[in-house]
Structure 1
Amino acid sequence: MLERYEVIENVKPGGMGVTYKAFDKNLERNVLIKNIKDELLQGHQEKHLKGLFKDEALIQARLSHNNIAQVYDYFENDGVSHIVFELVDGKTLDELELFSNLENKEQKLNEILSALLQIAEGISYAHLNGIIHRDIKLNNIMYNESTETIKIIDFGIARVKEAIQRDHTAAFMLTKLYAAPERLGRYEVDTQEKFDIYSFGVVCFQVLTGELPYMLDWDTKPVPSVNSNREDINEDVNEALISMIQPNPKERIGDLNALIKALKRQINQSEIPSFKVESPNTTNKIRDPIHGYIGLTNEEREIVDHPIFQRLRRIKQLSTTYLVYPGATHDRFSHSLGVMHVATRIFDELINKNAEKLSWDPNTINKNRQVLRLVALLHDIGHAPFSHVGDSFFPPGISNHEKMAAHLIRNTQLANLIDSIGKKLGFSHKEIAGIIEGKLISKYRLINQIFASQLDADKMDYLLRDSMMLGVSYGNFDLDHLIRSLNVNMDEGIPVLVIEKMGIQVVEELILARYFMFVQVYFHKTRRIYDQILTNILREYLPSQMIPSEEGEFLKWDDFKVLELIKNVKTSYNDMYLGRKHLKLVYEKFPYASDEEKQKLNSLHKKLELLKYPADKLIIDEYQQSSIRFSDEEGRPLIGVREKNGEVHSIEEYSSILASMKEPIYLFRVYAAEEIIEEIELILQEELS
């Protein structure tokens, strides 16, 4: 074995190779190492199989989910390929009586359902990332009984098994009783995700009934039902499982969302007497790359179809970032839908968990749910062209895009559309506008926290969306686990958003993701200079250097109009933008600066301004991003962690990582035209030496 890994013991020989428990000397942790037997490669396409083994390791290493065993490394030693995995503490499901021996009807049903939910969320996460397991069965799923945590193992190994099996059928036969029928030639393949969905359906059926649904007799046996064997599984779970084990893949569901929702509902309903959230008929579906299908009611669709909301299709989410990351062409339209979807998921999770604690009747629940959906949907309609680039051009009395959104809601047809929804539930457009612009905080405290806080739906969507569209991994975090970890605590009778202790790590993940996206993407030196150039362009073209607030004029100003003006008028700024010929970075202080350094840079800033160079020759970019706030003005935690005894403490008491992130991100950059760079550099030396 390489010097990095010290073998502790041979865990078990397998059909493919040997599994070792080892110690990683570099990172000082125990790991699991798997390899392929040399003899399996003899007479085969050895190079192809080793390449496949390596490719699968690289693909799996991208997965970061609480219920999937992580791939840490790949290496070759003496011609043998090895994959290094996270060492999982626990046993496989077939080794545990809880999952394999169900003759005792007094089993812990909720514990089993919670385990199945974790498996479903792990598989769903992998599928969203384009990765298929191909060998879901009891002995590829591990469970830690003390923490009640699932880990799916051997992602990617099955594909290599399949490749070897072509010539070694006897040694490497897929477990037929778990394999989807189309893999055995009974039906045409539909999607590969349905391989895993069928196999997981078999696992669920076996765990819940003690029997397999089929013995390769799909052609002669009707699709079995869990409820034929037991009476304590609700109909939604039963229907989802029936859909998962349909022999014909064309009749099988294509994702696990229905099962996940059904399992959550049964788990929550069995723990507490839950209110039924009356979810309106969201028959209008919009396909989203992050969240799958996003549903809209007919009334919500009328709002989405309004020209003010449709304008968001022509407002880039990340302004000029597409000049650095070509994939950053997504818009505020899709983000707004995503925020509504995530906010609704959070709300439903909190209500299902807290029926007994909340004093809301069904009408109050449905009212608050609809208010939240509209606030989340409409929060960005007031953005200027190119999003935050235009933040300095709002007219007097409308200081930011939130106030512009509130203004548009109050003074356009949107008011009537919102009132037609609200009159049934007891709210008006005035409340939607007020919440968006930061008012009515005490009346709608929980809604505000879901919509605009350190743990809000806005951040959850834009981090995942921006990360995916740009092709970077900085913004990724486990959304499903984060939502499951949220809860409510009562503060003098008012529900307040908190995080359970099990969610501390995923909150760290979210906040670190935001930090990395700011440092690596949002404050990228090239993106920032084009933001500055575009700001100067808008200053030239906007009437009275202001975004119009009248509906008709406001609708005219979008990214398309600005780009058209840039193309049709020849100026130095326009040439820079169209030709991507920006000023050059001469000096940078980023991402932190001491107070003493900031004083020096402030003096430098003033001296450079005295040179009176035009902005197409010299641009100074100075900005400070506020640090994480852990408490409000009254000392209440902004990210509260709830203990089992009900006490709530600030997350900084539990996380040394977050507690250390109190310093604001600071940037000071000087950009100059080629002909003045030497002069600027001399001044920099004099001022900063």
Structure 2
Amino acid sequence: MEFSAREMALIDSPFFQRLRQITQLGFAGLVFPGATHTRFAHSLGTAHLAGRVFDQLCKGNNYDLRADYNLEQLNYARSLLRFAALLHDVGHPPFSHAAEAVLPRLGQLPMPDFLLDDPNRQATHEDYSHAIIHHLAESRGLISREEASDLVSILSKKHEPSDQLKAKDGRHLIYPLLCQLINGEIDVDRMDYLLRDAYNAGVPYGKFDLDRLIGAMAVYKEDQAGWFLLSLKEEDVPTYENFLLSRIHMFQQIYFHKTLGAFSHYLTRAFVDKELEIEVDGSLEQFLGFTESRLRQALAQVSHKKWSSRILGRVKAKNILRVVGEDTADLARLVMVEEIINRAGIESFVVRSSNQYSSQIEGQVNQGTVMVIQSEFGKTRALPLASRSDLLDTREKRILITQLYVHREDAARAIEEINLKLADG
């Protein structure tokens, strides 16, 4: 991988270096010992892939970007895409998403006014990323203010990009395409984390043909709306479907694993129940110290307390029941079992995990649509991906897993109570 001098300056900044102390998969190392890789490495890989994909799109397959943008503008778009890929996770808290429970109100972050959609809501890791990007421009001068605004525009989709991204006809043609490549149906973030996570976890689920997928990507110009969109040839749809299946299986088998769900619940409860004396006040300098090593130190100081002791002692909860999907009867059964356990005086907890694995809608073209190019008898036409993929036709587009747990020491009694009540009808 090669990085420009400006990219290296961002990489060397304390905010990016902090990602060395933030693991990509949080508690996954408890189940998959190799899965201790960091968001630092993932962000570097994502930026590398961003450059590869942009260069592929500039080859002019199906449509030539140079018809609407000059070389200087394309270079700006390429550098912007790589910056966005580098910095997309820079605001991530420790242990994946569980530590977001302690983040402050949005209004406490040093944010531009146009990003304060609701100052009283709780900030997310995306909000911290946006605040850090603006800080890198305002206080450190590593990127320009215009670049910072465009980066947040691509990452958040909350405001219009600058004139730098306008085509010759005055429209932001390339903006939807850049958004798709960072956070879309076939984006560089997913390309990197699926392969990286599968490799480090030692599982086969996340594998797909990366080179074939990148080589299949092209640009489609939606003239009526004024957008550039990502496109594939019809013969490359199976390559996309292989990529999509990899994502579905990684969520089912790794990201929503029963042990990860339980330990994430432990950490959230440790924050909510005030076991941990950690305050994140909105200061970006303070956020630099909000790392997994710091959090482990804080847990060690309260190792006698309920939730912290379970984390440090690696005490697994017992997964009593797991429901995949939204079947009403299955979910009602889970509620019934939960009530049986609770009436017996046994503590339980429920973890709900969901992910929309595809945003494609049949018969509709929007800024997230991937187009499929059909060629027949010398003529071509473009159709939305959802209308050309059998996989999207036959599957739900959301993964939902609901899991009921009891503490390990209560498992035998809980199972006995459940069997007794179910036998009684």
TM range (shorter): 0.7 to 0.9
Distance in 2 separating the partners of 1:484 and 1:631? 24
Q: In structure 2, what is the equivalent of residue 365 of structure 1?
A: 74
Decide whether the 8 Å contact of 1:335 with 1:461 is kept in 2. Answer: yes
Identity fraction in percent: 27
TM-score (norm 2): 0.82
State the one-letter code of the partner of 2:148: H
Distance verdict in 2 for CA 1:485–1:441, change over 3 Å: farther
1:305 alignment partner, one of 5, 8, 12: 12
Residue type of the alignment partner of 1:392: A
- Alignment equivalent of 2:215, drawn from 484, 489, 495: 484
8 Å contact 1:626–1:665 — kept in the other structure?
yes
Q: CA deviation at 1:683?
A: 5.0
Taking the TM superposition and a 5 Å limit, the aligned residue runs for 1:170-189 are: none
Q: 2:236 aligns with which of 503, 518, 524?
A: 503
Q: 1:253-272 alignment to 2 at 5 Å? A: none
Whole-angstrom distance in 2 between the partners of 1:458 and 1:348: 17
Query: Cα deviations across residues 127-153 of structure 1 (Å, max 9, x unaligned)?
Result: xxxxxxxxxxxxxxxxxxxxxxxxxxx
CA apart distance, 1:687:
7.7
Aligned length: 386
1:641 to 365, 368, 372: 372
Pair 595,551 (structure 1): closer, same or farther in 2 beyond 3 Å = same
Gaps of 5+ in 2: 107-121, 162-171
Once structures 1 and 2 are overlaid, which stretch shifts more, 603-612 or 519-528?
603-612
In structure 1, distance between residues paired with 2:422 and 2:139 = 56
Decide which structure has the larger Cα Rg and report it.
1
Secondary structure of residue in 2 paired with 1:387: coil
- Counterpart CA distance in 2 for 1:491 and 1:687 is 58
- What is residue 258 of structure 2 aligned with on the other side? 525
Following superposition of structure 1 onto structure 2, how do residues 435-450 of structure 1 map, counting pairs within 5 Å?
Answer: 435-440=154-159, 443=172, 444-450=175-181
- SS in structure 2 opposite 1:647? strand
For the residues of structure 1 that align with 2:275 and 2:298, how far apart are their CA atoms? Answer: 8
Aligned equivalent of 1:628: 358
Q: 5+ unaligned residues in a row in structure 1: which ranges?
A: 1-293
* Secondary structure in structure 1 of the residue aligned to 2:58: helix
Distance 2:52 2:289 in 1: 34
Deviations 1:314-369 (A, max 9, x none): 00000000000000110000111111111111111111224366310011101111
Q: Write out aligned runs for 1:565-584 (5 A).
A: 565-570=298-303, 571-584=305-318
Over the aligned positions, Cα root-mean-square deviation in angstroms equals 2.8
Cα distance change on mapping 1:683 and 1:513 into 2, 3 Å? same
Matched residue type, 2:295: V
1:454 maps to which residue? 185
Distance 1:471 1:518 in 2: 15
Shift of 1:651: 2.6
- 1:655 — aligned with what? 389
Query: TM (normalized to structure 1)?
Result: 0.52
Gap change, CA 1:680 and 1:411, over 3 Å in 2? same
Distance 1:567 1:433, change over 3 A: same
Partner Cα distance (1:415, 1:434) in 2: 20
Quick one: higher RCO (CA 8 Å, sep 6+), 1 or 2?
2
What secondary structure does 1:643 align onto?
Answer: strand
Whole-angstrom distance in 1 between the partners of 2:68 and 2:137: 34
Q: 1:558 and 2:297 equivalent? A: no
SS at match of 2:414: helix
The one-letter code of the counterpart of 1:631 is I
For residues 391-437 of structure 1, what are the alpha-carbon distances to aligned partners after superposition, in whole Å with 9 as ceiling and x for unaligned? 333322253211110012223567643435x7xxxx33122123222
Q: Which residue of 2 aligns with 1:618?
A: 348
8 Å Cα contact 1:583/1:673 also seen in 2: yes
Equivalent runs, 1:74-473 vs 2, <5 Å: 294-353=1-60, 354-355=63-64, 358-397=67-106, 399-412=123-136, 416-420=140-144, 427-440=146-159, 443=172, 444-473=175-204
Quote the residue 1:666 is aligned against: 400
Contact 2:212–2:239, Cα closer than 8 Å, also in 1? yes
- The 1:684–1:399 alpha-carbon spacing in structure 2 relative to 1, beyond 3 Å, is farther
Does residue 238 of structure 2 align to residue 514 of structure 1?
no
Higher helix residue share: 2
Q: 1: CA distance between counterparts of 2:64 and 2:246?
A: 32
- 1:215: which partner in 2? none
Deviating more after overlay: 356-365 vs 446-455? 356-365
CA-to-aligned-CA distance 1:119-175 (integer Å, 9 cap, x gap): xxxxxxxxxxxxxxxxxxxxxxxxxxxxxxxxxxxxxxxxxxxxxxxxxxxxxxxxx
Report the CA distance between 1:546 and its aligned residue.
Answer: 5.9
Native 8 Å contact 2:88 2:129 kept in 1: yes
In structure 1, distance between residues paired with 2:94 and 2:361: 34
CA–CA distance in 2 between the matches of 1:661 and 1:461? 24
Q: Distance in 1 between matches of 2:132 and 2:311?
A: 31
The answer to whether the 8 Å contact 1:418/1:429 transfers is no
Residue pair 2:334, 2:404 contacting (<8 A) in 1 also = no
Q: Does structure 2 conserve the Cα–Cα contact (< 8 Å) formed by 1:418 and 1:428?
A: no
For residues 587 and 533 of structure 1, the distance between their equivalents in structure 2, rounded to whole angstroms, comes to 18
SS at match of 1:446: helix
